[in-house]
Structure 1
């Protein structure tokens, strides 16, 4: 408040009439062309947008998180450091190996790898082998040789897995609470089961069938 008051006191007001200006080109009127030129200097507008599949069998919160993670826009240590935040270190707080970016937290961390191995044993689909980023992992679920419904289920499970890996990371950092791989797997099974039961027409799937991943769709 003191700094704000000092700044306001130092500001000199004029008697000129207030006007709107386009800050990127104050000598010219605002135009769509000027916006396009400004954006063209800062981003590659010829690059195709991220084609994220919004799966309504997953929660909106987990889907929004993974959507941001595909573009490395979650507040990982590396992302925060790149935004100018002063951090003592950017290494992973779960395994201590490698810089903590989205791909590391959700795929490459030793703990995450063990979780994905358990998911793969459960679902019968290899998800993280030969993938290095979140987008490719999701693509692998939608391009598997399973039926359309099972591909959607696997995609929802992948989203739920990444969301719970992120929550586990936050609990470890901010609360000092750690989960085992088995605890994470049980949460993934429970949460994804409820999601499919509540948001799809396949409410006849029993919990036992889901936990054994033994059902025909």
Structure 2
């Protein structure tokens, strides 16, 4: 995981970084583990996803847990594939938000990440699945079948 250019990884490569705190929440170190698992902003996103997809609360101890979570939430078929895609899109959007906060001093709001997640997920799922007629309303309710 030290290949992702977090502050923690950069310190291991002998880069001097002045601000080591998480750009999303200001709490904790800017590390893969914190950004995607322990960060308050990411936790709000994961909590929303669990309610939206009607699965148990999502808790992660590391990045590997995030990558494998679709295998452990009790979904199958198209719902499982949709959930897997949603998790991957969420990771990308959390990272993108982290970079905006760190490099552009942009305020990060979990509700914006969630809105982008639903929109991007809808476009991805509708174009990749056999559910070409899936409506936005059903997607927002996670009614896929």
Instruction: Name which of 187, 196, 200 aligns with 2:129.
Output: 200
Q: Is 1:111 paired with 2:41?
A: yes
Equivalent residues of 1:77, 1:90 under 8 A apart: yes
Give the structure with the higher percent helix: 2
* Distance (Å, rounded) in 1 between the aligned partners of 2:90 and 2:138: 19
Q: Is 1:213 paired with 2:142?
A: yes
* Distance (Å, rounded) in 2 between the aligned partners of 1:210 and 1:110: 26
What is the SS of the residue equivalent to 2:58? coil
* Distance (Å, rounded) in 1 between the aligned partners of 2:86 and 2:27: 26
Q: How does 1:57-206 map to 2 (within 5 A)?
A: 71-126=1-56, 128-129=58-59, 131-206=60-135
Q: Deviations over 1:147-185 (max 9, x none)?
A: 222111111100100110111111111222123221111
Aligned-residue offset at 1:135: 1.3
Aligned-residue offset at 1:143: 3.0
TM-score, with normalisation over the residues of structure 1? Answer: 0.63
Tell me, which stretches of 5 or more residues in structure 2 are unaligned?
none
RMSD of aligned Cα (Å): 1.5
Equivalent residues of 1:157, 1:188 under 8 A apart: yes
Distance 1:72 1:159, change over 3 A: farther
Task: Indicate the structure (1 or 2) with the bigger Cα radius of gyration.
Answer: 1
Aligned-residue offset at 1:118: 1.3
* Distance (Å, rounded) in 2 between the aligned partners of 1:184 and 1:94: 12
* Distance (Å, rounded) in 1 between the aligned partners of 2:32 and 2:53: 23
Equivalent residues of 1:127, 1:137 under 8 A apart: no
What is the SS of the residue equivalent to 2:69? helix
Aligned-residue offset at 1:83: 1.0
TM-score, with normalisation over the residues of structure 2? Answer: 0.91
State the aligned residue count: 145
Tell me, which stretches of 5 or more residues in structure 1 are unaligned?
1-70
What is the SS of the residue equivalent to 1:104? helix
